[in-house]
Structure 1
């Protein structure tokens, strides 16, 4: 059984039982909120997605798939809107939102105080897990082994700021996307990639080099939500649809399709947390 799936599944079960109920009990929209949310909205919700499995990808039959894709599609449809997906590299998403080229980001974005200064976040629909990915034969066996190492991150992703805050003896090497980050490892210019854990198996599968099983752990108090422009009145409506998805079981169904609903087991000990 893939250990990332064990970690994320267990975390999200807790998120569904605790974080969702706590958040929604404090922020249920009123009828006035619902009415104002619809003001000025078009019939289409343009959603920026990171074109990487498991967020958004194309299946063998040519259809779009992905956890964040299905969540965002259900949110749009629940709002009575037609979802329009715009796939791009992660570092292009926030400039596109600022410029009004998209209405919402659905790409495993962690809610942080820095981002909240400029953008609004929906209610959480996932929880943040991160991973160090290392090449075959690496001496990095636990997250404590990264001191003094060169760590690649995707430019603009939350992992960069988290790495700066929590790891003071690493050299951060920025890359425009995951593929470029893996190339840095292949060329010997980075010792590991620090990225979101849900992406890890896709990265390992597609890498041109052999990567070890990821070192995975949870980031405390780091919910993942949809990102919209500050003051967008549709936030209350988005939150209400997410609440309905949780209560109806739709959220659990989508989550289970991408992250197996197994217990946590001993994954934290095994992966050096």
Structure 2
């Protein structure tokens, strides 16, 4: 009887030990998984810290976000100067790599650059593949049309069958396609090429950001095009784009942008490049949401 009780006790003790061992193994597995996830999220930030430099993709042709002033070989713009201030506050060197709009996101995926800043809109589809900082710019979309007849466009539904000028992978081209327009694509060209094509009829309209289009028209007043007076649509947020798993880098960028927002630096830079307007805050305009647009 005593032997039987002893055997039962040994078996029970073995079960308890096995259960404890399973808990420890499960705990170790969880900790290992969390550690691997943390290492992945830290790797991009660690890589940047080790090199002492952030490599940022931008177009260099998007006035006033990223461009070269006439007669100058120094890149500047709202986005560019924000990035310079971010790098300065993080005590890092900064270098820019220039790509056409359609090549910027693929350059992140290939590892050629660490991030992108080029008035890049935050969308649900993009968030599946990339991480975004907190927004540094709020705006909405408008449309450049011919000055003489508004390119025959009164409503967004009138875009069907028209020709749109823009990059193939931009949100603006997706909006044009949503309403049945065909997009004529460009390489990394300056604003005047887009505007002249609308004026001479090669294209009918250009959808783009309100602030960017307003200033492009101001800089090129001799081209007979204008902003459509009645169409304001698709509220937008622009942010810095990073690799999907770079959570530590995102945290550092967000903290820095928040500091710049609170101390007035974002407002100051915005007013310098947007004619005294503060694009770092949400606009008060009545802007139409586009139903059924898959972004």
Question: How far apart are residue 207 of structure 1 and its match?
Answer: 8.3
User: Which string of whole-angstrom CA distances, capped at 9 and with x for unpartnered residues, describes residues 154-177 of structure 1?
Assistant: 222111223334x2x433433335
2:55 aligned with 1:46: yes
Match of 1:77 among 66, 80, 88: 88
| Alpha-carbon separation, structure 1, partners of 2:155 and 2:114 | 36
Match of 1:193 among 185, 191, 206: 206
What TM-score comes out, normalization by structure 1 length? 0.73
SS of equivalent to 1:68: helix
In structure 1, stretches of 5+ residues that fail to align are 1-31
1:1-12 equivalent positions in 2, closer than 5 A: none
| Alpha-carbon separation, structure 2, partners of 1:251 and 1:218 | 24
Q: Quick check: 2:87–2:93 contact (8 Å CA) kept in 1?
A: yes
1:132-171 equivalent positions in 2, closer than 5 A: 132-139=143-150, 140=152, 142-144=154-156, 145-165=158-178, 167=179, 169-171=180-182
Larger Rg: 2
| Alpha-carbon separation, structure 1, partners of 2:105 and 2:45 | 23
Q: CA, structure 1 residues 110+186, in 2 after alignment: closer, same or farther (shift >3 Å)? A: same
Q: Quick check: 1:182–1:207 contact (8 Å CA) kept in 2?
A: no
Partner of 1:128: 139
SS of equivalent to 2:185: strand
In structure 2, stretches of 5+ residues that fail to align are 1-37, 288-295
| Count of matched residue positions in the alignment of Structure 1 and Structure 2 | 234
Question: How far apart are residue 267 of structure 1 and its match?
Answer: 7.0
2:127 aligned with 1:112: no
| Alpha-carbon separation, structure 1, partners of 2:136 and 2:199 | 34
2:289 aligned with 1:251: no
2:245 aligned with 1:231: yes
Question: How far apart are residue 138 of structure 1 and its match?
Answer: 2.4
